[in-house]
Structure 1
C-alpha cells in the first residue's frame, strides 16, 4: 500500500521502544521500520546514501545519551527536511515543550499517552497539523495567561485569522477548520499562511507556542 506511514523511533529505553514497536504491529497504516537508541545512530542512517526512503515521521525522545533530542532536531531537519518530528517525552516542563517546538518539532506528547493518541499524533503531524498533549497545552496556557497583553505584531491578526489560529490550537486540520467555519480549504490555507507570516513562524506548533507566550489566545474563565 502507498498509504503506509513510515516511522522511525529514537528512544534509548529498550522496554519502552519494544512496547511501542509491539503495539504498532497492530496498526495497519503505520510501519515502525527503524528504531535507534541514540540520535547519533539515527542521524547516520539518514546520511546513508543507500537509505533512499526517508521516514515520514520520527518519534523522538528528548533525554537521550550523547546528543539530546533537542540538539538533534535541527540535524534531523537538515538531513530529512520533509520528515515530521513528534516528541515522545516524560517531561511536561513548559521550557522543554517550547524549546522542542521552537527547534522545529511538529508535535509533543507524553510517553504515558495511550497508543491511540500516539497514532493519531503521527497521522496529524503528517497531515500538517499540530499534535500537542492536551494537559501540556492547558498547563502552558494557565502559566502564561497572566503575562503581558498581546504584542503589537500579534495584534495584527484579523478576527478570522484569530478564529483559525484558535482552531489550530484545538488540533483541527485545514479540512476540519473549513467545515467548522464554512469556508473553503484554500481560504483556510491562505489564512494559515498569513498567520505564519505575521507571527514570523514556520509551522502550526510554533504558531501555537508563540500565541501562548504572547498571551494572544483568549483565556476562559
Structure 2
C-alpha cells in the first residue's frame, strides 16, 4: 500500500482552511498533517522540525499577511527540499504567477478552484506532474509578449519534442500524451526531461511560459478557459 501524500496548508483565511480540511479529511491517500495562517509559522515549523513528519506537498497562498507566499517560497523550498508546492492565487495576480513559476512551484490554482480540482492537483503534482489552473493558464496564454529568440529555441527542439511541448501546453498529462502518441510513459518522460534541459527550465509551467514568450507555441489571446484542472 502506498504511503499517504502528506500535505501542509499555508493559508490565512480560517474559512478556506476549513474547506480544505473537510475536503481532504476522508480523501484516500491524502493526509493534511498541519495548517498554518502565515509563512513565518510555516518556516518555523519546517526549520525547527516541530513535527515528526515533513510534508510531501505544500499548498501555499500567495497573499499572506507579513511575508507573502511568493516572498517565502524560496525559503520554504530550502527548508523542505523534498516537498512540492502548489500555489493558490487570484486571477489578477499576474506578476506573482510569473514569479512563482520562476521560483519553481509545480502547481498553480485559483482560489475559486473546486474541491475536486484541488484534490486532483495534489495527486498530479505529488506524482511528479505539473499543473496550471484555468485562470492562470489563461493569463499565460493571453498576456505574455514574445521576448525571447524564437528561432534559436525552436531549432533546439526536435519535431517530436515540439509535439509533446504543444500537448503539455494543451494541459495533457504524461499518460494522456503517451496514449495520444502511442508511446510509453517512460518515453514521454524522457522527452519531457530533454525539453526542460533545452529550454533551461525546471517544470512544465515554466516550459510553457518560455515557449509562449518565445513565440514557438501559438499565441492567440482567448477568453475561453483552457483545459480544466491542468
Could you tell me how far 1:219 is from its partner in structure 2? 4.0
* Paired residues of 2:57 and 2:126 also in contact (CA < 8 A): yes
Report matched runs for 1:23-38 at 5 Å: 23-38=23-38
Instruction: Name 1:151's counterpart in structure 2.
Output: 150
The question of whether the paired residues in 2 share the 8 Å contact of 1:92 and 1:110 is answered with no
- Alignment of 1:126 onto 2:126: yes
User: What SS does structure 1 have at the residue aligned with 2:43?
Assistant: helix
Q: Under a length normalisation based on structure 1, what TM-score does the superposition of the two structures give? A: 0.90
What is residue 167 of structure 1 aligned with on the other side? 167
Q: In structure 1, the residue corresponding to 2:12 is in which secondary structure?
A: coil
SS at match of 1:138: helix
In 2, are the aligned partners of 1:89 and 1:109 still within 8 Å (CA)? Answer: yes
SS of alignment partner, residue 7 of structure 1: strand
CA distance in 1, matches of 2:83, 2:134: 23
Q: Tell me the equivalent position of 2:110.
A: 110
Deviation at 1:62, TM superposition (A): 0.5
Deviation at 1:103, TM superposition (A): 0.7
TM-score (norm 2): 0.87
1:135 offset after TM fit, Å? 2.9
Cα shift readout 1:5-40 (whole Å, capped 9, x = no counterpart)? 111000011111112212222322221110011111
Shift of 1:127: 1.5
Q: Supply the distance in 1 between the matched residues of 2:191 and 2:17 (Cα, whole angstroms).
A: 39
SS of structure 1 residue aligned to 2:150 = coil
Q: Gaps (5+ residues) in structure 2? A: 222-230
Task: Kindly indicate whether the alpha-carbon contact (under 8 Å) linking 1:7 and 1:34 is maintained by their aligned counterparts in 2.
Answer: yes
- 1:151/1:67 Cα in 2 relative to 1: closer, same or farther (>3 Å)? same
2-side partners of 1:54 and 1:151: how far apart?
A: 42
Residues 81-137 of structure 1, C-alpha deviations (whole Å, 9 max, x = no match): 121100112243322211111111111111111100111111111112121112321
Q: Judge conservation of contact 2:5–2:30 (CA < 8 Å) in 1.
A: yes
Residue 75 in 1 paired to residue 75 in 2?
Answer: yes
* Structure 1 residue ranges without an equivalent (≥5): none
In structure 2, the residue matched to 1:3 is 3
Worse-superposed segment, 191-200 or 83-92: 83-92
Number of paired residues?
220
Deviations 1:36-90 (A, max 9, x none): 1111111111122464421111110011111110111111211111211001122
CA distance in 1, matches of 2:115, 2:204: 23
Q: Secondary structure at the match of 1:27?
A: coil
Cα 1:5–1:84 shift into 2, 3 Å: same
